[in-house]
Amino acid sequence: MFAEYLITSKFTDMRFLKTTLPAFLLLIFLGSFSNRSFSQSSSRFSAQNFIQNGDTLRYRLLFPDADTLRKYPLVIFLHGSGERGNDNEAQLKWGVQNFATDEMMHLHPAVVIAPQCPTHESWSHFSNSNHGPMSLLPTPAKSMELLIALIHQAVKNLPVDTNRIYITGLSMGGFGTYDAIERYPNLFAAAVPVCGGGDVTKAPSIAHIPMWIFHGSEDPTVNPLYSLNMAEALRKAGAHPGLTMYPETGHFSWIAAYSDPAMMEWLFRQHK
């Protein structure tokens, strides 16, 4: 199709061939390179199943190195609502691939667990989620209950540094991040909630957890006030959370957040 355009178009002069054609070919190359990089990173996550009392939580596991002498940080990555299902693949679509690049595995090797929430379920269990002030309900969601059990299993069976267990998530996973740290405040060494929300009355119980909050200032899906209010509640409780509000950004704030080298450097510095 493009070749036919070159032959028939009135713009097929030397100037066009010297400027537009190289740019077009560069786009093809970059697209091909991006697809290969994504495929390579995806293949580094092995497909696993965690089963407890007849319930199954599918997840992907990134193992950092064949080194039996070291222990590694554990990163829990919670996807958004659009990646729910049972294919054990959709949760790799956004963000978590950034932990599996050659550069990241060299600079910050880590065990990474990316679970997949089943369809029609959620990571969090709040009252009035995303429609006003939220309250953490007494019992966790089934998926969160399974995830916490999976974390304990990973600590037992994998070379995990229990002083460096991190949790992060986007959108539904951002709510799940708050849910997890508010229910289990002594488990995690740091948290990065992206375009999520939580129970601000729990801020004093999580003020000791280093946290960097991200949100798009024009997010039409999850009100940015959730992040602003949580950051303010944490500050009042004596914490010093990071807060990044991306201007001119809607719901996809996770693209910038997980591509930010400063965030990654900060995250892997944290420990209990």
pLDDT in tens, 37-91: 445 566 899 999 999 999 999 999 999 998 989 999 999 999 999 999 999 999 9
Please say whether the beta carbons of 129 and 88 come within 8 A: no
Q: What is the pLDDT of residue 41?
A: 62
* Residue 96 and residue 7 share a domain: no
Q: What is the pLDDT of residue 68?
A: 87
Please indicate whether residue 33 or residue 200 has the higher confidence score (pLDDT).
200
Biggest alpha carbon–alpha carbon distance for the chain: 71
Please say whether the beta carbons of 39 and 94 come within 8 A: no
Give the global pTM: 0.84
Rounded to whole angstroms, the Cα distance separating 181 from 156 reads 20
* Residue 33 and residue 150 share a domain: no
* Residue 162 and residue 120 share a domain: yes
Rounded to whole angstroms, the Cα distance separating 119 from 126 reads 18
Q: What is the pLDDT of residue 133?
A: 82
Mean pLDDT across 178-192: 98
Which residue range(s) make up the domain with 67?
Answer: 45-269
Q: Coil, helix or strand for 81?
A: helix
CATH of the domain at 158: 3.40.50.1820
Q: What is the pLDDT of residue 40?
A: 57
DSSP letter, residue 210: -
Rounded to whole angstroms, the Cα distance separating 58 from 137 reads 24
Give the bridge partners for 246, in sequence order.
Answer: 216
* Residue 182 and residue 77 share a domain: yes
Pairing state between β 55-62 and 45-52? antiparallel
DSSP string, 29-66: HHHHHHHHHHHHHHHTEEEEEEEETTEEEEEEEE---S
pLDDT in tens, 158-174: 999 999 999 999 999 99
* Residue 37 and residue 57 share a domain: no
Give Cβ neighbours of residue 19 (< 8 Å, ≥ 6 apart).
none
